[in-house]
Structure 1
Amino acid sequence: MSTSAPLTTQEAAEAGLLPASHWQHEPLPEDVDDDGASSINGSFLSSTASLSESIFKYRTIHGRTYHSEIGNADSWEPNDAAHVDALEVAHHMYTIVLGHKLFLSPLDKKKVTKVLDIGTGVGSWVIDFVDEFPNAEVIGTDITPIQPSWVPPNCRFELDDCNQEWTWPDNTFDFIHCRSMFGIVIDWDDLFRQAYRTSKPDGWVESFVNCITMRSDDGTVKEGSAMDQWGKVWIAGGKKTGRTFEVYDHDLQQKGMEKAGFVDITVKEFYIPVGVWHKDKELAEKGLWWKIAIETDLEGYLNYIFRVVMGWSPEETAVYAKHLRKELNDPNIHAYFNVRVVYGRKPHPGEVPA
């Protein structure tokens, strides 16, 4: 994942970015619990690559391991044990956001026989999906082999880079699923073009993405706060790497599906409070799990984009993380973000769009 030249002072100012050194001059928050799991309180708890030795020669960056760079196959997320745990928590959080569901597309269990999960991560979605669809063959792909080896017989994992030309034949899958791939996908239009080609007629494609920006309606997310800077740093990092984090902001899911030729495109929006400040019990649960998912490996999420891409020092990143944790746990800050799920159907031959 290449980076461009450092941002100029003017470019940083236009993006609303504070210098990384800013956080070291701010008073340090007190009583910040660095153990994200403590929030659970006991009650919540390319194309296909050959499995060669080079795949397992991970890069070590600031003490964390990442997929070894092979062509364009790269990720800003670590692939070590600490982040695997965080991805497991994130999977649970995603299902809660969707009302304890794995997907929203109107699938027919009698007709779904072959399914693809792009960027499967630790493979939790695949394993849960085959429980609901025991007669379907489900493939999960990722660029790094962090999936379990013991899996149900009707699912498997393959090493694959979704930014390369897909090798599956036309009209292969009844359902293609893609979740939280911002900062990974190089060309979203091409992603949906390939998904369209490899979908069967009447097959569904679904994409889940959240907005990277945290905001508030009452001014409690203040300009220059850690929450305010969170989204701005990620967006700037995406511009430097050429892999955008503004998928939600630019509506790339719906636009990409429309360009590819999908029909019956449906857009679902979700409002997610950050933390447990919301009075609505269901929304508070969603906010709690999002907070837990981030806190479980906050350093892992910050390590590559903040330190490698944006050039923050370890000390600057660590101090920023303390400020962010403090704000995440402050019930007087009414922060929220948005999630968008978009799904569409591949028309059958000769079908006239409505």
Structure 2
Amino acid sequence: MASPAQIPIDSEYTYHVDDDARTFSSGRTVATTTTMYRHENGRTYHAYRDGEYWQPNDAQQNNHEAIVHHLCILTLNDRLYLAPIGSNPKRILDIGTGTGIWATDIADKFPDAQVIGTDLSPIAPGMQGMQPNVTYEIDDCCSEWVYPDNHFDFVHIRGLFGSIADWPKLYREAFRHLRPGGYIEQLEWSVHNRSSDGTLSHNNVLARWSQNAIQTGTTMGKTFEIAENMAGLMREAGFVDVVEKRYKWPIGPWSSDPKLKDIGRWNLLNWEEGMEGWVMAAYTRVLGWSYQQVQDWLQEVRTALRERRHHVYHEVRLVYARKPQ
């Protein structure tokens, strides 16, 4: 992957069609989810601890999670994690497991490990039972954990930005329940949209998107900026050997770097498939927008996403750290 300092730009992208069929469409599908949820503005949300999490849990969201998982695998060069957990972990915890796709994949990689995936919603029905060494639990990671101390070899977190009111507490819980020498790893994406060549103005809709996210997080008391702060908070919780990796996800295939072009294509699909779920609950519940105001805003965003002159990206950070022996 190109240096994080600069993304090379494909000078032909602005003026030529770049396989729009691949860029703007997808045939990916994931099994539908169950229906015992809160129904609101055409989407469904978790009922357990109602309102604690802002993204939906319906079939559309499940399809979107498959795209995110693929993006993460592309970014990490076909790896599920980077922490040096060894070849024989015995107990693995996946917090906020979503559809269970990461937990299922890690269970396949380590068939002798006991893998637990927790979430506020049940996982997609098609994922249950795929691996005999996976257990899925409906649980709130913000509550006190019920597992024994020094229990897990590896705790995995991905995409929980805007979901946790007390991150220091969560890291302390992870620290207490990891065995000495065990690892925590977290991957998050920044809500700050940027351009390295000045093509994103302060008033651009994609810049205002970032401003709205910060305002929403401040109002909810659940920061959307955990990507920028998780390394320091892990150190404060007592973790050592903290390693932070930074990546850039272009929005659209505007880079000349082949891998970044592919990531940009998938990230554009990520936005187009996921953005309604990212903002519908947050904007209507927190910012007081109407359903129609949200839809009008999303149309503005879609137009901006397809503007080839704007070379926009956002940062992705991965942090892993060890509990001392």
TM-score by length of 1: 0.80
Q: Measure how far apart 1:77 and its partner are.
A: 0.4
Instruction: Tell me which of 273, 285, 300 is aligned to 1:296.
Output: 273
CA distance in 2 between partners of 1:106 and 1:36 (Å): 39
Q: Which residue of 1 aligns with 2:68?
A: 90
* Amino acid corresponding to residue 69 of structure 2 in structure 1: H
Instruction: Tell me which of 235, 243, 261 is aligned to 1:258.
Output: 235
Q: Confirm whether residue 39 of structure 1 aligns to residue 17 of structure 2.
A: no
Q: Confirm whether residue 113 of structure 1 aligns to residue 90 of structure 2.
A: yes
Maintained 8 Å contact 2:245/2:318: yes
* Amino acid corresponding to residue 150 of structure 1 in structure 2: G
Q: What whole-Å deviation, never above 9, does each CA across 1:40-74 have from its counterpart, x for those lacking one? A: 477x99xxxxxxxxx97421121211112537x72
Maintained 8 Å contact 1:68/1:74: no
SS at match of 2:153: strand
**Structure with bigger gyration radius:** 1
SS at match of 1:122: coil
Q: Which residue of 2 aligns with 1:338?
A: 315
Q: Measure how far apart 1:80 and its partner are.
A: 1.2
Q: Measure how far apart 1:183 and its partner are.
A: 0.8
For structure 2, the 5+ residue unaligned runs are: 1-19
SS at match of 1:106: coil
Maintained 8 Å contact 1:36/1:296: no
1:53-92 alignment runs, 5 A limit = 57-68=36-47, 70=49, 74-92=52-70
CA distance in 2 between partners of 1:297 and 1:188 (Å): 24
Q: Which residue of 1 aligns with 2:191?
A: 212
CA distance in 1 between partners of 2:85 and 2:271 (Å): 31
1:237-252 alignment runs, 5 A limit = 237-249=216-228, 251=229
* Amino acid corresponding to residue 232 of structure 2 in structure 1: K
CA distance in 2 between partners of 1:343 and 1:298 (Å): 28
Q: What whole-Å deviation, never above 9, does each CA across 1:156-196 have from its counterpart, x for those lacking one? A: 10111011111111011000000011111111111110000
CA distance in 2 between partners of 1:231 and 1:297 (Å): 15
Instruction: Tell me which of 108, 126, 134 is aligned to 2:111.
Output: 134
Q: CA RMSD in A?
A: 2.1
* Amino acid corresponding to residue 286 of structure 1 in structure 2: I
1:4-23 alignment runs, 5 A limit = none
Number of positions where the alignment pairs a residue of Structure 1 with one of Structure 2: 300
Q: Measure how far apart 1:314 and its partner are.
A: 2.1
Maintained 8 Å contact 1:221/1:333: yes
Maintained 8 Å contact 2:49/2:120: no
Instruction: Tell me which of 206, 210, 214 is aligned to 1:231.
Output: 210
SS at match of 2:191: coil
Q: Confirm whether residue 156 of structure 1 aligns to residue 141 of structure 2.
A: no
SS at match of 1:297: helix
Q: Confirm whether residue 283 of structure 1 aligns to residue 283 of structure 2.
A: no
Q: Which residue of 2 aligns with 1:201?
A: 180
Larger CA deviation: 143-152 vs 129-138: 143-152
Maintained 8 Å contact 1:37/1:292: no
After superposition, the Cα gap between the structure-2 partners of 1:56 and 1:118, relative to the gap in structure 1 and judged at 3 Å, is: same
Q: What whole-Å deviation, never above 9, does each CA across 1:204-249 have from its counterpart, x for those lacking one? A: 0001111101011222112222111111111111111111101124
Q: Measure how far apart 1:38 and its partner are.
A: 6.5
TM-score by length of 2: 0.87
CA distance in 1 between partners of 2:299 and 2:25 (Å): 19
For structure 1, the 5+ residue unaligned runs are: 1-34, 46-54, 349-354
Q: Confirm whether residue 322 of structure 1 aligns to residue 316 of structure 2.
A: no
Q: Measure how far apart 1:149 and its partner are.
A: 2.2
CA distance in 1 between partners of 2:153 and 2:161 (Å): 24
Instruction: Tell me which of 275, 295, 305 is aligned to 2:282.
Output: 305
Structure 1 segments (4+ residues) deviating >6 Å: 35-38
Larger CA deviation: 255-264 vs 193-202: 255-264
CA distance in 2 between partners of 1:267 and 1:217 (Å): 21
Q: Measure how far apart 1:131 and its partner are.
A: 1.7
After superposition, the Cα gap between the structure-2 partners of 1:37 and 1:307, relative to the gap in structure 1 and judged at 3 Å, is: farther
CA distance in 2 between partners of 1:36 and 1:325 (Å): 16
CA distance in 1 between partners of 2:189 and 2:297 (Å): 22
Q: Measure how far apart 1:130 and its partner are.
A: 1.4
* Amino acid corresponding to residue 65 of structure 1 in structure 2: T
Maintained 8 Å contact 1:116/1:176: yes
